[in-house]
Amino acid sequence: MTNIEQSGTFQLGDRRVKRLGYGAMQLAGPGVFGPPKDREQAVAVLRAAVEAGVDHIDTSDFYGPHITNQIIHEALHPYSKQLTIVTKISARRGEKGEWLPAFSPPELKQAVHDNLRNLGLDVLEVVNLRSMLNPHHPVEGSLEAPLSAVADLQRQGLIKHIGLSNVTAKQVADAAKICKIVCVQNYYNLAHRDDDALIDDLALHGVAYVPFFPLGGFSPLQSSVLSEVSTRLGAPQMQVALAWLLRRAPNILLIPGTSSVAHLRENLGAAELVLDDAAIRALDAIGVAN
């Protein structure tokens, strides 16, 4: 399919994973709720990703809910020893698909057991605690109580490593006093670069940074710059945006998601895309302008 080895690797918990992984969110139905339109296609995408060399899959049991993890189990179990599955907890879905906080110790414990059951695992490799103080963007506030509950589950042997999602730099620093943090998953892309300093600090400490929404929230002007670069390079916009993220910092791990094998191939092609100096200057300027 493509050589994702060219993207390099970075440490994630006990393992070194290839920097271009796969996000399973789009395997559920519309709005990440309910079953996919084509379950066989969802299974095929997962198998194609692993066959292409992907060894890092990001998921959550509140995708569906339960459905995405069940599809991963169907497609890939028994799992390769090289495959690292990362999940996240602290939310649940309402009857109409609402995203609701599930932040109490009993809810977090239940979420861990749900992930274990649906993935068919005895222990979860990495669990990200997603801050639900504001579900849409990071806000300051203490995560001590929920994080301590997750750390207890780690001590019980249900979780190997802990990460954070939707958090501020201060929350990351505070969390490190409670337990070791192996990754941070936040909103970051060419145009939304509030975490620039955090990414660089995490890199110095060997902590992985996993951006989500690599094209989310672009304005028409910003998209036109990306479009111009993409046209000149003869590459799709998403592929260019992913290639820029791979160049941004060595600790960035990418988890682009798709329910299409063709789109999967396109995303993985970012590992081989070479950005020249002119392209990098133009793309860097998007974040400065923003």
Residues 63, 187, 188, 209: which is the catalytic one? 63
Class of domain 4-289: alpha beta
- Whole-structure pTM over 0.75, yes or no? yes
Please give the torsion angle defined by the CA atoms of residues 115, 120, 125 and 127, in that order, rounded to the nearest 10 degrees.
Answer: 0
User: Domain coordinates of the chain in residue numbers?
Assistant: 4-289
- Per-residue pLDDT, averaged over 189-214, amounts to 96
**CA-based angle 44:188:210, to the nearest 5?**
55
Q: Is 63 a catalytic residue?
A: yes
For residues 242 and 214, the answer to whether their CB atoms sit within 8 Å is yes
**Considering the chain, what percentage of its residues have pLDDT values greater than 90?**
91
pLDDT digits (tens, 9 = 90+) for 152-180: 999 999 999 999 999 999 999 999 999 99
Q: 109 exposed, middle or buried (CB, 10 Å; 0-12, 13-18, 19+)?
A: middle
Q: 43 exposed, middle or buried (CB, 10 Å; 0-12, 13-18, 19+)?
A: middle
| Token pair of 151 as six digits | 């750390």
